Amino acid sequence: MELGGSFALGPWRVHRAGYGAMQLAGDGFFGPPRDRDEALRVLRAAVAAGVDHIDTAQYYGPGTVNELIREALHPYPDGLAIVSKVAVRRETDGALRRFDEPHELRQGVEDNLTTLGADRLAAVNLRVMNPSETPGRRFDAQLAALVKAREDGLIDGIGLSNISRSHLLRAVDQTEVVCVQNLFNLADQQSLDVLTECEARNIAFVPYCPLGLPGEQRRRLLADPGLAAAAARLGASPVQVALAWLLDLAPNILLIPGTRARAHLAENLAAADIRFDDTARAELARHFPSGR
């Protein structure tokens, strides 16, 4: 399976259709999975299908998802890029809090390595809590902590998550950025300026919640008549067309849709086989204008 071709993730090159492991945790991304055996089977099926880019985080669970990845896939096959994120910590009661002082970022990287049973990660994203904040010296110190982790051989690349274009521009003045992970989908294209900047700089752009935010936004998106019409004409499901739209939008987009079930995994990966034509692009642009 071609999985949408490939794109660079720093020194790695990965298929454009990957897998996001967040949903393997319990409800609210907290606690153990609903079905542990199926979670392990999903991870193994993803790699068997050719997925070589898995996105995770220590705070999924916390620790639960990384431990599942380790149990399912360790020792890791050559070429499997595991990407995580730091700057957030989940408490035992499920609450999230900042964990983004420079020394905490270093601990976050090391915690990921421990639970994954890995010596090195393909990339780690610095997750910005408030993208509307103007980046300054504190942001610089956070970047410096990840640069040190890269120099020490703990990570191969530095990424950013939940950022504005100003964060990206400040970061690339200080270090190489290999990926950006922002909210982006047919229904929410507010990060289009970040995507455009990444495309111009050959930086991988990884949209999270590619089918819309869980809940009402996702339900509205997948029930949209324009998406349904495009799906019917292309002989695909609305989910597949929404994912294929992202792959068609820009060559630097890497997908990481998540699922707890092997059937949904196969549906998601098959989206990479859909080929858009001008009619499909125009049809979706009318229903989901972006200004691109």
Catalytic option among 19, 60, 76, 208? 60
Q: Which residues pair with 15 in a beta bridge?
A: 6
d(C-alpha 245, C-alpha 250), whole Å:
9
Our CA angle for 195, 127, 125, nearest 5°, is 75
Find tokens 């410096």 and name the residue.
144
d(C-alpha 159, C-alpha 134), whole Å:
18
SS3 (DSSP) at 104: helix
**Range list of H helices, the chain:** 36-48, 64-73, 102-116, 137-151, 165-172, 192-200, 216-222, 225-234, 238-249, 262-270, 278-287
Instruction: Report which DSSP code applies to 163.
Output: -
For β-strands 19-20 and 53-55, DSSP reports them as parallel
d(C-alpha 218, C-alpha 258), whole Å:
14
Residue 60 among the catalytic residues: yes
Sequence-distant (≥ 6) Cβ neighbours of residue 119 within 8 angstroms: 113
d(C-alpha 56, C-alpha 54), whole Å:
7
In contact, 166 and 160? CB cutoff 8 Å: no
Catalytic (active-site) positions: 60
